Chains A and B, each alone.
Chain A
Amino acid sequence: MTMQIVHSGPVTSSDETVRAREALARDNLRTEPKAVRIAIITIAIAFLTIFVVLPLVVVFAHAFSKGIAAYFAALAEPEALAAIRLTLLVAAISVGLNLVFGLVAAWAIAKFDFPGKTFLITLIDLPFSVSPVISGLVFVLLFGAQGYFGGWLRDHDIQILFAVPGIALATTFVTFPFVARALIPLMQEQGTQEEEAAISLGASGLQTFFRVTLPNIKWGVLYGVLLCNARAMGEFGAVSVVSGHIRGETNTMPLLVEILYNEYQFVAAFAIASLLAMLALITLIAKTVLERHLDEGQDASDH
């Protein structure tokens, strides 16, 4: 805007020029020369396109490379259907478990003070930064044939490793932090006043939780569940270690992608991969919508 004033025709009053120059100078204090701006934007776009957009496009390009019929034929394979079913089942179990835990953990951390809180938060974060392979390994050490509970499990004929319970456990471990992490800052910010008011007005603990706490954090809960679900359905490393790769039985969708890819069945591999990619895209869109709700919620509580 100020640029236009400066360059628009002959300047009549010197006063105006001075003011325009000052405004321009103020703007210049917080921005860079045009060439630098364009260079930075170009680098950012080029980097994101090469490293993020292209891999995403490649998945769909390969999935449909032999036509739509081949794509759907690959998805209709019994093996593919079994993998989809197992993935949905495992996601349902681990999201359910972590929803309950996340609520309780966030409640404890946000509303109470106790020694060792930083340690507890670090523990909750741990599955985020531990290698997924290690997450799988710990369950092999516990429940494997030579593991700590391996003998007992064998005596009682309970199969955990290389079966659905092991996959569900490993997935729950890996997706453990999502719900709690989404809720802790939210609940900390809201404090305990509303709950204290409810209790002093005669509400029971459970009533307070369901009528006061839960409505306040509902978008946060959805946000955590969304991210937890995306990771649960897409988990590869941890599940790969505990699954045993029994075809049609313990292969989740990401594991099937690996198997088909290694067998050079590229259309089939990328067809399954495209489903997972779509899940990721839908998750991202839903996340953007939820973030808007969360921001609004915060603004409302600020006023």
Chain B
Amino acid sequence: MGLTLSWLSVIILIPLAGLFLKSLELSPEQFWNILSSRRTLNALRVSFGLAFAAACVNLVMGSIIVWALVRYRFPGRRLFDAIVDVPFALPTAVAGVALTALFAEKGWLGAPLAALGIKVAFTPVGIFVAMIFIGIPFVVRTVQPVLQDLDPEIEEAAGSLGASRWQTIIRVILPSLAPALLTGLALAFARAVGEYGSVIFIAGNLPNVSEIAPLLIVIRLSEFRYADATAIAVVMLVVSFVIIFAVNRLQRWAQSRIPAR
């Protein structure tokens, strides 16, 4: 017990406390000036905006994938089920160079897209693509077990009471999946906001346009502007702390709903 707490404090609390102490060295005015500078604001906007858009895509596509994996039988189902975890397991730098090679103008997908006039690599669209890649397992893996455990009798009851299939899905299945869907969305969002490795290769990293917040932190560090790096980091850290805390609460809420069914 004591060992846990001391180890935890050595490896997690002290570094985090260091970060907050450092940010306290800044006056509120300095803090505000750093955050409201055009480049910082744009980097935060790119990271949070695209991460949210990507998480929403993941929510929709993840739900479709979960539905196909759980409800239908098709050749290769087990293989595709395993493949969902690849973005978890593949090192981010590898994902970064691979996605860039794939979507670059001469790449397998980049060339046909370029012919259509769509440029993906080295634009914000590239960041969006990388964030979709990195977030998809979060939605699938949080929703999948819940859909698997869903009692078939509720659906049959809804159907035999005259609900159309669509009504059953919207009114009966969707509410049961809601906590898991929200959790998946939040986890995918949190991961995409902080993502670095798989994004920086494909992003193009143009300040104010395709520069993500984590990259700006790295740039400020390399310029020895520690205060700037710290201020951006604190904002991102607080957001991720709020997200996981919310997720943990969501999980408790979901668990407390189970016995009621």
Q: Which A residues are closer than 8 A to B by beta carbons?
A: 26, 28-32, 37, 40-41, 43-45, 47-48, 50-56, 58-59, 62, 101, 104-105, 107-108, 112, 114, 118, 120-135, 137-142, 144, 146-148, 169, 172-173, 176, 230, 233-237, 240-241, 253-255, 257-258, 261, 266, 269-270, 273, 276-277, 279-281, 283-285, 287-288
Inter-chain contact B84/A104, CB cutoff 8 Å: no
* Candidate in B99, B193, B214 with the most chain A CB atoms within 10 angstroms: B214
Interface string of B218-257 (1 = CB under 8 A from A): 1001001010011001001100110111001000000000
Bound state CA distance, A31 and B71, in angstroms? 8
**Counting CB contacts under 8 A, is B206 at the interface?**
no
> Chain B nearest CB: distance from A23 CB in Å?
12
**Counting CB contacts under 8 A, is B19 at the interface?**
yes
Inter-chain contact B84/A52, CB cutoff 8 Å: yes
**Which chain B residues numbered 191 to 223 have a C-beta less than 8 Å away from chain A?**
191, 193-197, 201, 213-215, 217-218, 221
List the one stretch of B27-35, B59-67, B177-185 in contact with chain A. B59-67
**Which of A105, A124, A129, A233 meets B91, CB within 8 Å?**
A233
Inter-chain contact B94/A142, CB cutoff 8 Å: no
- A133 in contact with B194 given A104-B4, A257-B97 (CB within 8 Å): yes
> Chain A nearest CB: distance from B231 CB in Å?
11
Interface string of B148-180 (1 = CB under 8 A from A): 000010011011100001001000000000000
- A55 in contact with B65 given A133-B194, A280-B90 (CB within 8 Å): no
- Can you sample 16 A-B contacts with CB below 8 Å? A30-B156, A45-B74, A55-B99, A104-B3, A120-B8, A129-B190, A131-B196, A133-B196, A134-B237, A146-B226, A173-B11, A258-B93, A269-B97, A277-B90, A279-B91, A284-B85
* Candidate in B12, B201, B236 with the most chain A CB atoms within 10 angstroms: B12
Inter-chain contact A43/B197, CB cutoff 8 Å: no
Bound state CA distance, A41 and B91, in angstroms? 28
Inter-chain contact B240/A280, CB cutoff 8 Å: no
Inter-chain contact B248/A125, CB cutoff 8 Å: yes
**Which of A121, A133, A138, A254 meets B15, CB within 8 Å?**
A138
Inter-chain contact A55/B98, CB cutoff 8 Å: yes
Bound state CA distance, A28 and B187, in angstroms? 34
A interface, by DSSP: helix, strand, loop or mixed? helix
Q: Which residues of chain A are within 8 angstroms of B64 by Cβ–Cβ distance?
A: 40, 43-44, 47
> Chain A nearest CB: distance from B35 CB in Å?
15
- A123 in contact with B92 given A30-B155, A133-B217 (CB within 8 Å): no
**Which of B83, B97, B215 meets A48, CB within 8 Å?**
B83
B74: nearest chain-A partner, CB-CB: A41
Inter-chain contact B22/A141, CB cutoff 8 Å: yes
Q: Which residues of chain A are within 8 angstroms of B85 by Cβ–Cβ distance?
A: 284, 287
Inter-chain contact B194/A29, CB cutoff 8 Å: no
Q: How many A-B residue pairs have CB under 8 A?
A: 260
Bound state CA distance, A140 and B220, in angstroms? 12
Q: Which B residues are closer than 8 A to A by beta carbons?
A: 1, 3-4, 7-8, 11-16, 18-19, 21-22, 61, 64-65, 67-69, 71-72, 74, 76, 80, 82-87, 89-95, 97-99, 101-102, 107-109, 129, 132-133, 136, 152, 155-156, 158-160, 165, 168, 187, 190-191, 193-197, 201, 213-215, 217-218, 221, 224, 226, 229-230, 233, 236-237, 240-241, 243-245, 248
Bound state CA distance, A8 and B16, in angstroms? 70
A101: nearest chain-B partner, CB-CB: B7
Inter-chain contact A59/B94, CB cutoff 8 Å: yes
Q: Which residues of chain A are within 8 angstroms of B241 by Cβ–Cβ distance?
A: 122, 126
Inter-chain contact A40/B68, CB cutoff 8 Å: yes
Inter-chain contact B93/A254, CB cutoff 8 Å: yes
Bound state CA distance, A26 and B160, in angstroms? 8
Inter-chain contact A130/B240, CB cutoff 8 Å: yes
Bound state CA distance, A135 and B214, in angstroms? 11
- Other than A172-B11, A253-B91, give 6 A-B pairs with Cβ distance below 8 A: A52-B84, A54-B109, A55-B98, A131-B217, A137-B19, A146-B224
Inter-chain contact A37/B133, CB cutoff 8 Å: no
Across chains A and B, which 5 residue pairs bring their CB atoms closest together, nearest first? Answer: A234-B91, A131-B194, A29-B159, A138-B15, A237-B196
Bound state CA distance, A235 and B95, in angstroms? 12
Inter-chain contact B245/A53, CB cutoff 8 Å: no
B91: nearest chain-A partner, CB-CB: A234
Inter-chain contact B226/A141, CB cutoff 8 Å: yes
**Which of A51, A173, A280 meets B89, CB within 8 Å?**
A280
Q: Which residues of chain A are within 8 angstroms of B71 by Cβ–Cβ distance?
A: 31
B22: nearest chain-A partner, CB-CB: A141
Bound state CA distance, A269 and B89, in angstroms? 19
Q: Which residues of chain B are within 8 angstroms of A280 by Cβ–Cβ distance?
A: 86, 89-91, 94
